[in-house]
């Protein structure tokens, strides 16, 4: 059995025991419920990772990077349940400010709530959190760290998806796999533009330093008093930080021999909000990837007028528009907002502390048993009645990409 927590740093903080005690009752309850639901009796007979078929002629598979900070364990667990499928790989990251006990809780609660994790070993919690300074380069470093860990753990996924504790899916994992299965596996979904506008003087030219990179105690980023010129050795692209990137592109960034990803990384270290420009600029300046780029991040967001730093918090009044949008993910939500229950009930068909019951779940559905405590073929997905809008959105995006309408412009 694979270790669930990548113990990169076994040292634990003094507050070690506070969180587990609070969570112990909950975890025991879940363990008890899953025990009576019968997985313990039959899990050795259930299909395991060996039966998983991935690669070009099989349904798509994703590497999900779910990140949050101190106090986000419950939200990450809920998000994990909403996006879980045995075909995919998951890496959960709580930034360095979260106590080790919160990571331990997250890994035991995930295991207790999803029996399939034991058989597929496809969920890991990063054992030591990275710094995630607001607006600083440590956020980008953390994303690259996650991508390289996921390349190391598993070489078979097709797309790397970044999600945050404030995000939630608007489609079932089966629908996501179904729709992406007909998309060329080397496409990247990233919102981008080279039209910098006001950002040129506010986001491109200022020079900042992220202390999260070199100081043990995080503080705010430093702003230099001088500005620098807009680069002319490469074209600067900017856009949404939320991305769906192909495995081939991340291999190019992390283990490739072309130097572009490294030189741009050096440059982006001192750019404010580098996660809003790094992947965008690397993709669009690399000849072999600029034609593999779809100009969309596939996220539903609603902006205030004038826009704030973050999109506004989605609530029940946004449900209709959101559910019809045909976009697979939305942000941002308040913790346990009632609209998340609406999404669970109406779209995902998901019950409390259970994964979304996909075609892989073969158990009986009763209030006391989780249908996903037993499973059969995980290479089959069953689209839901909500899949049509998402399919249309994807078809239009791929058609636009084929006619080269707005990639890397
Ligand atoms: C990408 O598209 C541009 C414009 O259509 C074309 O000139 C270029 O040759 C393409 N590059 C590759 C690597 O296919
Ligand atoms: C939902 O959000 C909108 C926009 O932020 C706000 O005007 C509205 O009052 C909120 N509704 C509820 C029920 O919280």
Which ligand has its closest atom nearest to the C-alpha of 407? Answer: 1
Q: Which helix (H) or strand (E) holds 391?
A: helix 387-402
Q: In the chain, what is the straight-line distance between the N-terminal and C-terminal CA atoms, in Å?
A: 47
Question: 336 lies in a domain?
Answer: yes
The pLDDT assigned to 14 comes to 39
Q: Where are the alpha helices (DSSP H) in 271-386?
A: 278-285, 287-290, 319-324, 338-342
Q: How far is the CA of 258 from the centre of ligand 1 (A)?
A: 18
The pLDDT assigned to 20 comes to 52
> Which residues, other chains included, contact 151 with Cβ-Cβ below 8 Å and sequence gap of 6+?
247, 250, 251, 254, 255
Residue 124 pairs in a beta bridge with 91
> Relative to the CA of 288, which ligand 1 atom is closest?
13
Say if ligand 2 is within 6 A of residue 342 CB. Answer: no
Question: 76 lies in a domain?
Answer: yes
| Radius of gyration of the CA atoms of the chain, in A | 21
The pLDDT assigned to 10 comes to 33
Which ligand has its closest atom nearest to the C-alpha of 308? Answer: 2
Question: 170 lies in a domain?
Answer: yes
Say if ligand 2 is within 6 A of residue 315 CB. Answer: yes
Q: How far is the CA of 164 from the centre of ligand 2 (A)?
A: 22
Question: 157 lies in a domain?
Answer: yes
Compute CA distances 125 → 83, 105, 111, 243, 266, whole Å: 16, 10, 11, 20, 28
Pocket test for ligand 1, best of 186, 291, 403 (most atoms within 8 A of CB): 291
In angstroms, rounded to a whole number, what is the distance separating the alpha carbons of residues 299 and 297?
6
Closest CA to 321 of 166, 312, 242, 276: 312
Compute CA distances 60 → 162, 187, 247, 306, whole Å: 16, 12, 12, 38
In angstroms, rounded to a whole number, what is the distance separating the alpha carbons of residues 93 and 36?
31
Specify the number of domains making up the chain. Answer: 1
Residue nearest to atom 2 of ligand 1 (CA): 291
Question: 208 lies in a domain?
Answer: no
> Relative to the CA of 312, which ligand 2 atom is closest?
5
User: 361 and 372 in contact (C-beta within 8 Å)?
Assistant: yes
Residue nearest to atom 7 of ligand 2 (CA): 317
The pLDDT assigned to 23 comes to 58
> Which residues, other chains included, contact 34 with Cβ-Cβ below 8 Å and sequence gap of 6+?
40, 112, 113, 115, 370, 373
C-alpha dihedral sign at 181, 183, 188, 190 = negative
User: 77 and 110 in contact (C-beta within 8 Å)?
Assistant: yes
Q: How far is the CA of 68 from the centre of ligand 2 (A)?
A: 24
Residue nearest to atom 6 of ligand 1 (CA): 291
The residue range of the domain holding 333 is 5-9+16-41+56-198+229-402
Dihedral (Cα; 347, 348, 351, 352), 10-degree rounding:
-100
The pLDDT assigned to 38 comes to 41
Question: 341 lies in a domain?
Answer: yes
Only one residue has tokens 């998000």, namely 79
Q: With a cut of 70, which residues of the chain have pLDDT below it?
A: 1-47, 49-50
> Which residues, other chains included, contact 140 with Cβ-Cβ below 8 Å and sequence gap of 6+?
265, 268, 274, 275, 278
Residue nearest to atom 1 of ligand 1 (CA): 291
The pLDDT assigned to 163 comes to 98
Question: 337 lies in a domain?
Answer: yes
Say if ligand 2 is within 6 A of residue 145 CB. Answer: no
Question: 221 lies in a domain?
Answer: no
């Amino acid at each position: 059995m694979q270790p669930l927590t990548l113990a990169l740093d076994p040292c634990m903080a003094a507050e070690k025991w506070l969180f587990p005690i609070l969570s112990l009752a909950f975890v025991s309850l879940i363990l008890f419920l899953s025990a009576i639901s019968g997985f313990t009796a039959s899990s050795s007979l259930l299909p395991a990772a060996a039966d998983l078929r991935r690669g070009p002629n099989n349904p798509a598979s994703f590497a999900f990077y779910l990140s949050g900070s101190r106090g986000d364990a419950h939200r990450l667990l809920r998000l994990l349940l909403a996006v879980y499928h045995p075909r995919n790989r998951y890496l959960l990251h709580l930034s360095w400010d979260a106590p080790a006990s919160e990571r331990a809780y997250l890994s035991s609660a995930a295991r207790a709530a999803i029996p399939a994790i034991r058989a597929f070993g496809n969920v890991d919690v990063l054992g030591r959190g990275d710094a995630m300074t607001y607006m600083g380069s440590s956020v980008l470093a953390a994303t690259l760290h996650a991508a390289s860990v996921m390349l190391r753990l598993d070489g078979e996924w097709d797309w790397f998806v970044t999600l945050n504790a404030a995000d939630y899916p608007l489609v079932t994992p089966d629908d996501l796999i179904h729709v992406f299965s007909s998309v060329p596996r080397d496409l990247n979904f990233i919102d981008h533009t080279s039209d910098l506008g006001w950002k040129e003087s506010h986001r491109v030219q200022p020079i900042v330093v992220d202390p999260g990179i070199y100081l043990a105690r995080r503080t705010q980023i430093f702003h230099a008093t001088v500005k620098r010129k807009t680069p002319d050795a490469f074209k600067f692209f900017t856009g949404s930080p939320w991305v769906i990137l192909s495995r081939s592109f991340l291999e190019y960034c992390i283990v490739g021999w072309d130097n572009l990803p490294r030189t741009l990384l050096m440059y982006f270290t001192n750019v404010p909000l580098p996660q809003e420009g790094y992947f965008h600029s690397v993709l669009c300046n690399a000849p072999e990837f600029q034609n593999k780029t779809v100009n969309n991040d596939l996220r539903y967001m609603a902006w205030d007028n004038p826009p704030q730093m973050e999109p506004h918090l989605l609530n029940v009044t946004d449900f209709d528009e959101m559910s019809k949008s045909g976009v697979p993910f939305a942000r941002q939500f308040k913790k346990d907002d009632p609209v998340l229950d609406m999404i669970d009930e109406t779209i995902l068909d998901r019950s409390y502390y259970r994964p979304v019951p996909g075609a892989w779940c073969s158990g009986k559905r009763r209030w006391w048993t989780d249908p996903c405590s037993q499973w059969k073929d995980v290479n089959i997905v069953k689209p839901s009645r909500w899949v049509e809008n998402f399919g249309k959105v994807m078809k239009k995006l791929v058609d636009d990409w084929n006619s080269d309408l707005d990639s890397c412009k």
